[in-house]
Amino acid sequence: MPELPEVETVRRGLEEIVAKRPRIKKIRLLRKDIRFAIPRKLPQFFEGERIVGIRRRAKYLLIDTEHRSLLSHLGMTGSWRVLQGDLDKHDHFLIELEDGRTLAFRDPRRFGIIDFVERGAEETHVRLKHLGPEPLDESAFTTDLFFKRSRKRKSAIKVFLMDQETVVGVGNIYASEVLFRSRVKPTKLTGKITKDEASRIVSNVRLVLEEAIEAGGSSISDYRKADGESGAFQDRFMVYDRKGEPCRVCKGPIRSKVIGGRSTFWCPRCQP
């Protein structure tokens, strides 16, 4: 599933596509639902509206118009692109722009989401109101906050780090990479981490996510940027998906275990 770096990369690509702020000529629903039903009134809310920007909240994209925002989640296989040529059988939602271009939302496995939110009401929307702080916002995601919330928690630190109420956008891939750089074993009980470990984790969350964004995200299966190209951060993985391979630091074998229902990777020597 695309995580924060992938969604932010798509956001930046879409921002370039709509840089001249075109109006939406027509919305076409090619099916009534994806993961959930698409609101029937959605087309009439956006047709004729000018796109004024593209934002990201956690793993959600918000295509802002003058009065409302189109809300989308990529799910596991969703992508946005400028339509060129014929429709793909997995194109489910189209935004026809006044300049003649069409933005297409493609989602083969249909775990994505298309919805809308009133401008200024983002924090009360059912899909957004439970979300924690943004990891790239240094004033919102701090060591003190992370450490305070970790106290008396009995879950593994990797599960806590992936909890979207703890911090948004850190999924399975980046949680493993962050904990490796922080020298913290992913099975360690959250309530047992030290303030120093919390500080390293918070710092490395930002570093790893920023590096991944710079690399265009990680392409493991279906993920593509808005221009159709793959990301490149997968070439820099230190532990993720490298079970049995030598650690890039100590040369010991990378181990893997299912934690919280997700495959987790770490180095026993570097993360004792």
Choosing from 2, 5, 135, 186, the catalytic residue is 2
The length of the chain is 272
Angle, helices 143-150 vs 195-214, to 10°: value is 120
Per-residue model confidence (pLDDT) at position 224: 56
- Architecture of the domain spanning 4-124: Alpha-Beta Barrel (3.20)
Residue 182 has which token pair? 């922080």
Per-residue model confidence (pLDDT) at position 228: 62
- Whether the full predicted model's pTM is greater than 0.85, yes or no, is yes
Residue 262 has which token pair? 């997700």
CB 153 within 8 A of CB 193: no
Question: What's the per-residue H, E or C state across the chain?
Answer: CCCHHHHHHHHHHHHHHCCCCCEEEEEEECCCECCCECCCCHHHHHCCCEEEEEEEECCEEEEEECCEEEEEECCCCCEEEECCCCCCCCEEEEEEECCCCEEEEECCCCCCEEEEEECCCHHHCCCCCCCCCCCCCCCCCCHHHHHHHHCCCCCEHHHHHHCCCCCCCCCHHHHHHHHHHHCCCCCCEHHHCCHHHHHHHHHHHHHHHHHHHHCCCCCCCCCCCCCCCCCCHHHHCCCCCCCCCECCCCCCECEEEEECCEEEEECCCCCC
Average pLDDT, the chain: 94
Residue 136: Cβ within 10 Å count: 17
Q: What is the pLDDT of residues 49-105, one digit of tens each?
A: 999 999 999 999 999 999 999 999 999 999 999 999 999 999 999 999 999 999 999
Per-residue model confidence (pLDDT) at position 49: 97
User: In the annotation, is 197 catalytic?
Assistant: no
User: In the annotation, is 2 catalytic?
Assistant: yes
Q: What is the pLDDT of residues 150-164, one digit of tens each?
A: 999 999 999 999 999
Per-residue model confidence (pLDDT) at position 214: 92
User: In the annotation, is 262 catalytic?
Assistant: yes
Name the segment(s) of the chain with CATH classification 1.10.8.50.
143-266
User: In the annotation, is 158 catalytic?
Assistant: no
Choosing from 56, 59, 181, 224, the catalytic residue is 59
Would you identify the CATH topology of the domain 143-266? Answer: Helicase, Ruva Protein; domain 3 (1.10.8)
Alpha-carbon distance 166 to 148, whole Å?
A: 11
Per-residue model confidence (pLDDT) at position 232: 81
Choosing from 50, 206, 255, 262, the catalytic residue is 262
Alpha-carbon distance 214 to 256, whole Å?
A: 27
Choosing from 3, 122, 177, 197, the catalytic residue is 3
Name the segment(s) of the chain with CATH classification 3.20.190.10.
4-124
Which residues of the chain, if any, have pLDDT below 70?
219-231
Residue 267 has which token pair? 């180095």
